[in-house]
Every structure is written in structure tokens, then in C-alpha cells.
Amino acid sequence: MLSSQAVVIDQDGERGVISAHDPQSRTYEVEHEGQTFIVPTDVLTTLGQSYFSLPTSFKALARHEMVAGEDALVVPVVEESLALSKRTLDRGAVRVHVTVGEREVVVDEPLAEDHVTVERVAINQPIDKPVRPRVEGDTTVIPVMKEVLLVRKQLMLVEEVRLTKTRVEVRRPQTVTLRTEAAQVERVDGPDAIAPNESQVQ
């Protein structure tokens, strides 16, 4: 049931009053400053009890030609459209600081060394021809010869020098300095950065 005091507010804030309702044509008669406007019911938007909004102004309606044979004006239907746009905001930058740290570690790895044992073995035997050095297992035998004056000259093997090689593992701990990097991240705010206590309107 439409109240007789129903008010229509246009986009300029001007107010009119609904004076009649025609259910068959689905229109309202709206009076404003002595003029009567025929407005379709689906054009008005309900704001609350006995209040409606008009998507245009009464002044715009007054500029239209009157419908022939009637003291009323035709209401144009106005539709709003949404235009979207986007832009790039500078929220800030990230600055990375790289620092070099040092730490000491102990290196203890086994190393191989060759130890040579020198053994002199007396032979003192005459030989007919020179004796060449030889290898017996891990021992290298180096003959030592000399000539001695006899009634006749005789080659004599005086001694053999035996070199025995023994492999042992030794450890010599050493202190080595190694470097490592640590990254510290610092945020640099730009002109469009949002403060921690501010809320961003989406």
C-alpha cells in the first residue's frame, strides 16, 4: 500500500511527492513545483518507508517535451556503468647486506710418509765381476765394492747397504680459517608504501 506522503528524491536532492499510482500502466504521478511527471514504477528505487530515489533530476525531466494530450512528461531511463582502471604502486624495495664471517676448523687427515732404514751388512767376499744394485721386496740392496792389492788384483765385495722402506701413517693437525657469508635483509619503503598501522582499502 503506497503512502499518500511518499517522497521522491532526485539526483540533485530535490524532492517531489507521489500523487497517484496507476497499476495498469505501472506508473506513478510525481508532483514537483507545480509540475506533474509520469514515472514508471521500475525506475524508482526504494530508499525506505515512503521514500524513493529518482535516477535523474526534475530539471532534466522539465526540459523534455510533454506527451501529446497529457500534462505529463516522459521520464528517460538512466543507467550507470562502471569504469575500471589500474595503476602500479611503488611499495618499496628490499636491500640485501652480505657480510663475511670467519671460523676456525681443525683439519686432521692421515698422511703417508716413507721411512728408510739404513743397514750395513759386511760381506768381505771376493767377486769375479761387479755386482749391480737389486731390489728384494721393500729393500733395495746397493753393493759397495773396492779393489784390493793382492799378488793378483781381485775384486772383493766388501759390504751391502740395505735400504728398507716402511710406510706409516702420521697425523699433523692444522688450524685452517674458513669464511662464510650471512645475508641481512632490510626493507626500504617507497613513496606508496603502507604504514604498519594503516589499513588498505581494496
pLDDT of 5 reads 72
Q: What is the mean pLDDT of the chain?
A: 80
Higher per-residue pLDDT: 87 or 102: 102
70 band by pLDDT with thresholds 50, 70 and 90: very low
d(CA 50, CA 58): 19
d(CA 179, CA 117): 43
Residue labelled with grid coordinates 735400504: 163
d(CA 27, CA 50): 16
Query: Which residue type sits at 197?
Result: N
pLDDT of 19 reads 87
pLDDT of 79 reads 54
pLDDT of 140 reads 93
Angle at 131 between CA 130 and CA 134, to 5 degrees: 155
pLDDT of 133 reads 92
CATH number for the domain running over 7-63: 2.30.30
Give residue limits of the domains in the chain: 7-63, 92-185
pLDDT of 195 reads 61
Higher per-residue pLDDT: 77 or 96: 96
Q: Per residue in 97-147, pLDDT tens?
A: 888 888 898 888 888 888 889 989 898 888 888 888 999 888 998 999 888
